[in-house]
Amino acid sequence: MKNELLKEFAEKLRHIELEEPVNIMEVCGTHTVQFFHTGVKDIFPGNLNLIDGPGCPVCVTTNDYLDRAIEIAKKHDVILSTFGDMMRVPSSYSSLQKEKAGGLDVAIVYSPLDALEIAAKNPGREVVFLSVGFETTVPTEAVCVKKAKEENIKNFSILPGNKLTPPAVAALLESGEVNLDGFILPGHVSAITGVKGWRFVAEKYKKPCVIAGFNSKDLLLSTIALVNLIKKGKTGIINEYKEVVKEEGNIKAQGVMAEVFAPADAEWRGIGVIPGSGLLLREDYAGFDAGKKFPVTPPPVKEAIGCRCGEILRGLISPLECPLFGKECTPASPVGACMVSTEGSCAAYYKYTI
Ligand code: SF4
């Protein structure tokens, strides 16, 4: 797209007139970062507020999950394997990084398939993959568990911590805690769920929404389209990421997810238990569930004193309203998960506003 056209869209957004405050939520952590990174957030017209949603998988993973993982590694001498951004997330009493420094066997991997390879190469050790992520990563995790079963790799398991995003949006709307006029929906997640996975937002809750990609053009066009819907008092869903997102989504990915995982209730940091928002391994794959394979009783859960991640993930406050932001809590010394993850709101605000 030519720069001239981008400038035209930017001017269009900048000059939208809003008589009343309008609150839109970007559900996805990558969008949180991209709104800053592209500068699109800087040209929002007065009265248009962008509220960050709960779309950072590392941020919404509870202390209890991390406590359990650490306890499994300690009690059962397993190799924990995880994506790198989980390493520095504070648990109730520690973090994976601190535990690794203290001698716990923790491997950073880029894919669950790397963890499976570690298991295949170390038949004498148990390998547990921390399965944390949204719809975008679940299909690979499902393929990995299937492969472990097919290849009879019995020393591999996952600690299920995956979450589904549409139930979280439904929970926010049901709670009525935050006044939202519309949603920018996550492009990558929608590539899996399809447009149909989000229709309930417009149909049941009467909130307009736009599925958006991630570059400047995507964010500009999506925001303009959403604000236009809101101004006209229309509900409905617009797919502004048609090159990637189809009505039905990725049927193949949905199929492998449904074969391996079954929906279950799951606890989200700061939000609580959301019905049908988690995924547990189906009976056929229960032997790969580290939670069942390695029973533990983690110590009582403790939350970081003063950390307001929970309210941020519910869209109630901005990171700038947390008294610890930029003082006791920085990316170099994070108090809460939202300051650790590259997709976390606090980390994004720190990077782009300080
Ligand atoms: S700034 Fe730090 S302490 Fe405050 S909410 Fe964010 S992560 Fe928690």
What was the pLDDT predicted at 117?
A: 97
Structure tokens at 217: 């053009």
**199 close to 210: Cβ distance less than 8 angstroms:** no
Q: pLDDT tens-digit profile of 262-289?
A: 999 999 999 999 999 999 999 999 999 9
Please determine, for residue 38, whether its predicted confidence score (pLDDT) is greater than 70: yes
Asked whether residue 51 is assigned to any structural domain, the reply reads yes
Asked whether residue 53 is assigned to any structural domain, the reply reads yes
Asked whether residue 247 is assigned to any structural domain, the reply reads yes
DSSP 147-192: HHHHTT-TTEEEEE--B-HHHHHHHHHHH--S---EEEEEHHHHHH
pTM for the whole structure? 0.95
Q: What is the CA radius of gyration of the chain?
A: 21
144 Cα: distance to centroid of ligand 1 (angstroms): 34
What was the pLDDT predicted at 2?
A: 60
CA distance 276 to 283: 17
- The angle formed by the CA atoms of residues 96, 277 and 110, to the nearest 5 degrees, is 40
Nearest to 79 by CA among 106, 99, 54: 106
Please determine, for residue 1, whether its predicted confidence score (pLDDT) is greater than 60: no
Judging by beta carbons within 10 Å of its beta carbon (0-12, 13-18, 19+), is residue 19 exposed, middle or buried?
Answer: exposed
Residues 6+ apart with CB under 8 A from 19: 47
Within 6 A (CB) of ligand 1 lie: 307-309, 312, 319, 322, 324-325, 329, 335-336, 338-339, 346
> What ligand 1 atom has the least distance to the C-alpha of 339?
7
319 Cα: distance to centroid of ligand 1 (angstroms): 7
Asked whether residue 354 is assigned to any structural domain, the reply reads no
Structure tokens at 251: 């049927």
Q: pLDDT tens-digit profile of 204-246?
A: 999 999 999 999 999 999 999 999 999 999 999 999 999 999 9
Q: H/E element holding 49? A: strand 48-55
Q: pLDDT tens-digit profile of 43-62?
A: 999 999 999 999 999 999 99
Q: H/E element holding 106? A: strand 106-108
325 Cα: distance to centroid of ligand 1 (angstroms): 6
Structure tokens at 133: 């992520």
Q: Which pLDDT band, with edges at 50, 70 and 90, does 252 fall under?
A: very high
Residues 6+ apart with CB under 8 A from 341: 29, 56, 58, 59, 85, 89, 347
**241 close to 218: Cβ distance less than 8 angstroms:** yes
| Number of structural domains in the chain | 1
Structure tokens at 157: 């398991």
CATH of the domain at 73: 3.40.50.11740
256 Cα: distance to centroid of ligand 1 (angstroms): 36
Q: Which pLDDT band, with edges at 50, 70 and 90, does 4 fall under?
A: confident
Q: Alpha carbon 139 to chain centroid distance?
A: 15
Asked whether residue 110 is assigned to any structural domain, the reply reads yes
Alpha carbon separation from 176 to 70, 172, 211, 272 (Å, rounded)? 36, 7, 22, 15
Asked whether residue 57 is assigned to any structural domain, the reply reads yes
Domain that holds residue 125: 1-349
**64 close to 295: Cβ distance less than 8 angstroms:** no
**157 close to 129: Cβ distance less than 8 angstroms:** yes
Mean pLDDT value of segment 303-317: 96
User: In the 8-state DSSP scheme, what is residue 332?
Assistant: T
DSSP 1-43: --HHHHHHHHHHHHT---SS-EEEEEEEHHHHHHHHHTSGGGG
Judging by beta carbons within 10 Å of its beta carbon (0-12, 13-18, 19+), is residue 273 exposed, middle or buried?
Answer: exposed
Please determine, for residue 354, whether its predicted confidence score (pLDDT) is greater than 90: no
| Mean pLDDT score of the chain | 96
Please tell me the residue having the least CA distance from ligand 1 atom 6. 346
Q: Which pLDDT band, with edges at 50, 70 and 90, does 342 fall under?
A: confident
Tell me if residue 298 falls in helix, strand or coil. coil
Q: Which pLDDT band, with edges at 50, 70 and 90, does 3 fall under?
A: confident
**192 close to 135: Cβ distance less than 8 angstroms:** yes
Percent with pLDDT over 70 in the chain: 99
Asked whether residue 38 is assigned to any structural domain, the reply reads yes
CA distance 146 to 278: 19
Asked whether residue 195 is assigned to any structural domain, the reply reads yes
What was the pLDDT predicted at 148?
A: 98
Residue entry with tokens 């248009």: 48
> What ligand 1 atom has the least distance to the C-alpha of 329?
2
- The angle formed by the CA atoms of residues 52, 8 and 236, to the nearest 5 degrees, is 50
Pocket test for ligand 1, best of 32, 314, 320, 338 (most atoms within 8 A of CB): 338
Report how many helices (DSSP H) and strands (DSSP E) the chain contains, helices first: 15, 11
Structure tokens at 353: 């506003």
Q: pLDDT tens-digit profile of 119-170?
A: 999 999 999 999 999 999 999 999 999 999 999 999 999 999 999 999 999 9
The phi and psi torsions of 61 (rounded to 5 degrees) equal -75, 130
